[in-house]
């Protein structure tokens, strides 16, 4: 089988190796689609402290059950179409007991601790099965669509943490795939005004065409006081009930405090690059507005099942997010950072 292995920063090796053996208490998934995540791009270009190389990356995975270990034959059968959750939680630590699996003390993940989806056949160990991390797909969803569910699951987790409610207003800073999904999901949550902001006019135009009526409007964010004035103007001087920061930009985190309404919530959904996470914030905004500042990291197997169901029912349309599909030999080109690209999601298909 073919697989792409990260051997060092910015070094991928395309290998032809034997198909892995199936564990007695696990399964083998024939990978059909693995979406390229922004996290994969960061790992390829900068590395990651949790990563032991060599490693097969890729954690947005969908495929077909190829083999089933004898100890889990009551759970799965060969030929089933499945999606595999990225995160594997232990189910025993204090955070798992509190139903916050993304904060698991012993958490592991595909593409980090286990070889991920940039290979033709992937071992899914019992740890992933035990935490309900393998979801059977509806016939109404394609493998490529199912690979996007992990990203939508993270958005579901984020909006739950922010406590989105009917009639509230939403400002989403960053109009990439995450921002677009947040806009669609926000409309389903019954929020009122939904605006997308970005520094790139072409990306805003692209997002507007995908989101359609889900969006109230778009805003250019040039990083100046003019942006804050625009926000105040369209919100009646109040700011937005929710500000979702969906980009890796310190300036966006700083300006979010000026854009949030009293008793509102700012969600730092996008993490910052290593060495750029020290951000100066005017905390008087938090104090005097009585607003909340939170973050979002990962999702749960339940979030993943909800995401798959929403996609299969047509409630969230992820097809326009798939800018291109490639084969495994083209993966390295997709992982190179290109600031001028308006590409949304790339999916490796086998």
Percentage of the residues of the chain whose pLDDT score is greater than 90: 91
Residue 9 CA to chain centroid, in angstroms? 22
For residues 6 and 115, state if they share a domain. yes
Task: Report, as an integer, the average pLDDT of 44-69.
Answer: 93
For residues 115 and 17, state if they share a domain. yes
Least confident of 141-145, 218-222, 288-292: 218-222
- The CATH number linked to 171 is 3.40.50.720
How confident is the model over 225-263, as pLDDT tens digits? 899 999 999 999 999 999 999 999 999 999 999 999 999
For residues 39 and 81, state if they share a domain. yes
Residue 147 inside a domain? The answer is no
The number of residues making up the chain comes to 350
Give the span between the Cα atoms of 196 and 207, in whole angstroms: 8
Fill in the DSSP letter of residue 335. H
Q: At a CB cut-off of 8 Å and minimum separation 6, what does 108 contact?
A: 87, 88, 114, 127
Give the span between the Cα atoms of 96 and 154, in whole angstroms: 17
Residue span of the structural domain in which 289 resides: 155-295
Q: Is the pLDDT of residue 79 over 90?
A: yes
The predicted structure's pLDDT at residue 201: 94
Residue 15 CA to chain centroid, in angstroms? 27
Residue 254 inside a domain? The answer is yes
User: DSSP H helical segments within 165-218, as ranges?
Assistant: 177-188, 201-211
The predicted structure's pLDDT at residue 33: 98
How confident is the model over 258-277, as pLDDT tens digits? 999 999 999 999 988 778 88
DSSP assignment of 265-326 equals: EEEE-SPPPTT-------THHHHHHT-EEEE-----HHHHHHHHHHHHTTSS--GGGEEEEE
Residue 34 inside a domain? The answer is yes
For residues 95 and 160, state if they share a domain. no
Q: Predicted confidence band at 339 (pLDDT cuts at 50, 70, 90)?
A: low
Beta strands in the chain (DSSP E): 2-8, 11-16, 27-35, 60-68, 81-84, 87-88, 108-109, 121-124, 134-136, 170-173, 194-198, 217-220, 240-245, 260-268, 292-295, 322-326, 345-349
Q: Is the pLDDT of residue 223 over 70?
A: no
For residues 160 and 289, state if they share a domain. yes
Give the span between the Cα atoms of 4 and 280, in whole angstroms: 40
For residues 123 and 237, state if they share a domain. no
Q: Predicted confidence band at 48 (pLDDT cuts at 50, 70, 90)?
A: confident
Q: Predicted confidence band at 340 (pLDDT cuts at 50, 70, 90)?
A: low
Residue 190 inside a domain? The answer is yes
The predicted structure's pLDDT at residue 3: 97
Q: Is the pLDDT of residue 90 over 90?
A: yes
Give the span between the Cα atoms of 139 and 80, in whole angstroms: 10
**How many domains does the structure of the chain reveal?**
2
For residues 265 and 340, state if they share a domain. no
The predicted structure's pLDDT at residue 189: 95
The predicted structure's pLDDT at residue 65: 98
For residues 161 and 261, state if they share a domain. yes
For residues 16 and 117, state if they share a domain. yes
Give the span between the Cα atoms of 21 and 81, in whole angstroms: 20
Residue 184 inside a domain? The answer is yes
For residues 94 and 159, state if they share a domain. no
Residue 179 inside a domain? The answer is yes
Fill in the DSSP letter of residue 260. E
For residues 246 and 186, state if they share a domain. yes
Give the span between the Cα atoms of 48 and 116, in whole angstroms: 15
Residue 24 inside a domain? The answer is yes
- Pick the closest to residue 321 from 219, 209, 164, 210 (CA basis): 210
- Pick the closest to residue 181 from 328, 55, 307 (CA basis): 307
For residues 199 and 92, state if they share a domain. no
Its pTM stands at 0.94
Residue 12 inside a domain? The answer is yes
- The CATH number linked to 86 is 3.90.180.10
């Amino acid at each position: 089988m073919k697989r792409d292995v990260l051997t060092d920063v910015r070094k991928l090796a395309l290998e032809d190796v034997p198909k892995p053996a199936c564990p007695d208490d696990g399964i083998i998934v024939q990978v059909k689609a693995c979406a390229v995540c922004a996290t994969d791009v960061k790992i390829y270009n900068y590395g990651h402290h949790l990563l032991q190389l060599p490693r097969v990356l890729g954690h947005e995975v969908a495929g077909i059950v190829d083999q089933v270990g004898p100890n889990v034959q009551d759970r799965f059968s060969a030929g089933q179409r499945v999606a595999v959750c990225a995160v594997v939680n232990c189910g025993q630590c204090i955070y798992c007991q509190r139903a916050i699996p993304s904060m698991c003390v012993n958490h592991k993940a595909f593409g980090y601790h286990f070889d991920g989806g940039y290979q033709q056949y992937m071992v899914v160990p019992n740890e992933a099965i035990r935490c309900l991390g393998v979801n059977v797909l509806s016939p109404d969803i394609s493998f490529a669509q199912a690979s996007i569910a992990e990203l939508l699951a993270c958005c579901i987790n984020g909006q739950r943490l922010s406590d989105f409610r009917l009639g509230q207003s939403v400002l989403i800073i960053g109009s990439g795939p995450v921002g677009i999904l947040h806009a669609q999901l926000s409309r389903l949550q019954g929020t009122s005004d939904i605006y997308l902001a970005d520094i790139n006019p072409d990306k805003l135009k692209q997002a507007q065409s995908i989101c359609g009526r889900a969006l109230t409007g778009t805003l250019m964010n040039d990083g100046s006081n003019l942006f804050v004035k625009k926000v105040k103007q369209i919100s009646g001087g109040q700011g937005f009930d929710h500000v979702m920061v969906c980009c890796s930009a310190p300036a966006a985190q700083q300006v979010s405090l000026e854009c949030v309404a009293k008793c509102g919530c700012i969600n730092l959904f996008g993490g910052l690059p290593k060495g750029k996470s020290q951000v100066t914030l005017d905390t008087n905004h938090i104090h005097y507005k009585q607003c909340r500042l939170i973050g979002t990291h990962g999702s749960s197997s339940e979030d993943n099942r909800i995401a798959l169901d929403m996609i299969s029912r047509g409630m969230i349309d992820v097809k326009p997010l798939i800018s291109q599909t490639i084969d495994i030999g083209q993966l390295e080109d997709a992982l190179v950072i290109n600031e001028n690209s308006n590409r949304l999601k790339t999916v490796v298909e086998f």
